Structures are given as structure tokens and as C-alpha cells.
Structure 1
Amino acid sequence: MKTFLGLLCFVLLSQGVGGLLYELTDGWFQLWSFVSRADFFDGYEIYVSVVLIVAGGAMGAAAGAATRKDGP
């Protein structure tokens, strides 16, 4: 579970940072960002990217707090 949460953290953070970089640099980071390609986010790309970064941080915190239970 910890590995899955860590992977999800990486994906969310990279998409959020990529989306912000795409918006702030006028399109230099197009390959990194799913948010810039999705038509239903038009006008809200920066907000969605910030939400992805926050969600990635939360997943990272959850991955750090995840422990394996041994026993019943």
C-alpha cells in the first residue's frame, strides 16, 4: 500500500507542477501536463494544478504514515 501511495503521490505532484509550469511559461511544458490537454478544465487549469499538488502532498503524507500491520 505504501508503494502505491508513493506512486500516486509522484503522479499527482508531477502533473500539478507540470500544469503550473505549462501555464506560467506559456506552453513550454506541454508534454508534462494532462491538465492542459483536457478540454473540460478550460479556464481552471491553474486551480486544478494547485489542487493536484495539494492532493499529491496529502498522498505523500499518507504514504509516510502507512504502516504494515502484522497479525490479525
Structure 2
Amino acid sequence: MKELLGVPGFTALGQGVLGLLHEFTRRRVGLVQRLGLLDGYEVYASTALIVPAFVLFAAAESRRPG
């Protein structure tokens, strides 16, 4: 179960960090800036991806083994 929660958490964290990296360095990385729907809101969308990533990591760690 930890892996089931960890994979989307890692993906969300990666995309959020890459979105922030794009906003501050103008490198074309990540998925957030490629979505036309989010024009002008890339920083908020990237932050909104990072927060649930940590929630998923916390949920994965709270699961009992087995």
C-alpha cells in the first residue's frame, strides 16, 4: 500500500518542483506550463501539486506494514 500512495506522491512532487523551476529559471520542463488552462497560474498550480504530494507521503508512512 505504501508504494501505491508513494508513486502518485512522487509524481505530484516532481511535477510541482519542475513547474516552480520553470517559473523561476524559464527552462521548459514539467507539465504544468504546457497546459494552456493554467496560463498565469503556474506558480499556484505547482504549489497545489506539492502540498498533496506531502499528504500522500504522510498517508503512505502511516500505513501499517502487511
Report the TM-score when normalising by structure 2: 0.91
Q: Deviation per CA, 1:11-67, whole angstroms, max 9, x where unpaired?
A: 0000000000001101x1x23x11010010111000000010001011110111112
Runs of 4+ in structure 1 off by over 6 angstroms are none
Q: Which amino acid aligns with 1:10?
A: F
**Which residue matches 2:4?**
4
Q: Which amino acid aligns with 1:8?
A: P
User: Which sections of structure 1, spanning at least 5 residues, go unmatched?
Assistant: none
Say which SS state the counterpart of residue 33 (structure 2) adopts: coil
**Alignment length, in residue pairs?**
66
Residue 13 (structure 1) aligned with residue 17 (structure 2): no
Determine the C-alpha separation between the residues in 1 that align with 2:63 and 2:44.
Answer: 28
Q: Which amino acid aligns with 1:41?
A: L
- Of Structure 1 and Structure 2, the greater helix share is in 2
Q: Which amino acid aligns with 2:31?
A: F
**Which residue matches 1:48?**
45
**Which residue matches 1:37?**
34
Between structure 1 and structure 2, the one with the greater Rg is 1
Report the TM-score when normalising by structure 1: 0.84
